Amino acid sequence: MERRSFVKLLGAAGVATASAPLLAGKASAADKITIALIPGLTADGFYVTMHKGAIAASQAVGADLIYQGAAEWNVSLQMPILDAVIAKQPKAILIAPNDKQQMIEPLRKANDAGIAVICVDTFIGDGVFQKGSGDVDFPISYVASDNVLGGRMAARALAKAIGEKGKVYVSNVKPGVSTTDQREEGFKDEMKNYKDIQVLDTQFNDDDANKAAAQFQAVLGRTPDLAGVFGANLFSAGGTANGAKQAGVTGKVKLAGFDAPESIVPQLKDGTFELTIAQHPAEIGYFGFIAAYAHVTGNPVPAAIGTGFTVMTAANIDDPNVSKYLYKSE
């Protein structure tokens, strides 16, 4: 997969901002456009930051934003929230679906009710929309980081850190989550380019840092020459780092993390993490909202908008151009 062109992305933003003043006049006539954002879960810095991006966009174009989500990553919790949001009849829904398959029909219902659907972060079906064929073609656009690319970037950076040789493995949440699956896929695929690097079996930790720590120690126990680990999300990475600390191999076994809460800064500086891949969730929220707004106001929108990544290391984390991508709660 290729990273989607930035030009398209700018195009979407440009169209929307250009039409904004035009519409601001109409909006005062009591039919202000309402757009909803349903995150994958609410209790997560990633989505908190995405929400901020969406707020910024809603203020920029003068539309209303509804933000509702479940506390947990679970289809049976997301479904009723989607129903409640549909009942409010927004013009468009931005959603990070909790499952590739199970959320298809509920979202189709929304689409049939005349509400435009845009996927953010995660997707339904195969994530390729508006191609004029196929069963799951109705979402207007998919706005997300290219997670396969994120996995590749982690692989390249980690390979460099371990001198392009040795054994590594992926610490992951659980199978079936589109984003983390893709990170693992990208990581493993990229590692094939390094013939002296061996990728061991993936360890799944159910988002339990305690388990991720024990798994690291168990793998290290049987593989004393372990060179590096890729923690595919926050708790996988944090748990693995603790396992390394307990085993006294911090800095010796190189760790690559994914995502960038503010707590990552001291951990990069003290060598707990060699690097972390920061997504740009605020951009996802911002451009997702703008794309929805553009569509609702009759403007064309690209079917896929890719937002970027930043590789953070101890060397660059003090650079404001890098640290601005840390996920913030305030």
Q: Which residues bind other proteins (CB under 8 A)?
A: 42-45, 47-48, 71, 201-204, 206-211, 213-215, 217-219, 221-222, 234-235, 238-239, 242-243, 245-247, 261-263, 266-267, 327, 329-330
| Distance of closest approach, residue 54 Cβ to other proteins, in angstroms | 15
| Distance of closest approach, residue 222 Cβ to other proteins, in angstroms | 6
| Distance of closest approach, residue 220 Cβ to other proteins, in angstroms | 8
| Distance of closest approach, residue 84 Cβ to other proteins, in angstroms | 18
| Distance of closest approach, residue 247 Cβ to other proteins, in angstroms | 7
Q: Which is nearer to other proteins, 45 or 186 (CB)?
A: 45
Q: Which is nearer to other proteins, 49 or 182 (CB)?
A: 49
Count CB atoms within 10 A of the CB of residue 17. Answer: 15
CA distance 68 to 79: 12
| Distance of closest approach, residue 272 Cβ to other proteins, in angstroms | 9
Q: Which is nearer to other proteins, 66 or 86 (CB)?
A: 66
Q: Which is nearer to other proteins, 76 or 210 (CB)?
A: 210
Structure tokens at 94: 């931005």
- What separation in angstroms does the CA of 298 have from each of 292, 294, 301, 321? 10, 6, 9, 35
Q: Which is nearer to other proteins, 5 or 74 (CB)?
A: 74
Q: Which is nearer to other proteins, 141 or 279 (CB)?
A: 279
